[in-house]
Amino acid sequence: MKSSVFFLYKRYLIAIGIIGGLVTLISFKDDMTTIFKKQNDISGKWEIDQTIQQSSLSRYKGLKVSYQVFLTQDGEIVQGNGEKYSENNTPIKPEDRIPVEINGKVDGHKLILDIVEHGKLRETTGQMILTLKKDFNTFTGEFSSTAANSSGVCTGEIIEE
């Protein structure tokens, strides 16, 4: 009799433990999804700012160019599109914004993005070599572009996941 009571009590405790574990997992589901996404995926809407430090055209030096882009990640491959939407913090009129396409690769915290700007007069290309910060919501790095042989620093932050 003692062993059957102990056996039932043990099964009762195991069932309570399983139910408690499931309730805990369900209640933290959103937090766990966010944690795992941030470790593995940079998909979302990003704001990228480039500050030109060197250029063959002196008027470009110091210019800040901002892009809003949508990035999607599949494994290590990153693709996206968006537009150049401001220069020196002055918004560009919607009809004058320059569309961009992005292709790249992420490896841990290193992110390399190739960008193509489809300007009204010409197409320009560039590359950003970036380091994703610990939270995977921001990055810093350097860029180079065929537009007036420009290069400089860039930063980015996710503004919508």
Delimit the domains of the chain by residue range: 2-36, 41-160
Kindly report the CA angle at 45 between 43 and 50, in degrees rounded to 5?
110
38 pLDDT band, cuts 50/70/90, is very low
Look at residue 18 in the predicted model and tell me its pLDDT.
Answer: 72
Mean pLDDT computed over 72-84: 97
pLDDT at 124 over 90: yes
Which is higher by pLDDT, 121 or 31?
Answer: 121
pLDDT at 99 over 70: yes
Look at residue 143 in the predicted model and tell me its pLDDT.
Answer: 98
Mean pLDDT computed over 7-21: 65
Mean pLDDT, the chain, whole residue set = 87
122 pLDDT band, cuts 50/70/90, is very high
Percentage of residues in the chain with pLDDT exceeding 70? Answer: 76
142 pLDDT band, cuts 50/70/90, is very high
Look at residue 33 in the predicted model and tell me its pLDDT.
Answer: 46
Which is higher by pLDDT, 82 or 14?
Answer: 82
Amino acid making up residue 97: R
**DSSP sequence for 62-100:** T-EEEEEEEEEEETTEEEEEEEEEEETTEEPPGGGPEEE
Look at residue 75 in the predicted model and tell me its pLDDT.
Answer: 93
Taking alpha carbons only, the member of 67, 63, 56, 143 closest to residue 98 is 67
pLDDT at 52 over 90: yes
CATH fold, domain 41-160, is: Lipocalin (2.40.128)
Taking alpha carbons only, the member of 154, 136, 152 closest to residue 66 is 154
pLDDT at 4 over 80: no
Are the CB atoms for 111 and 132 separated by under 8 Å? yes
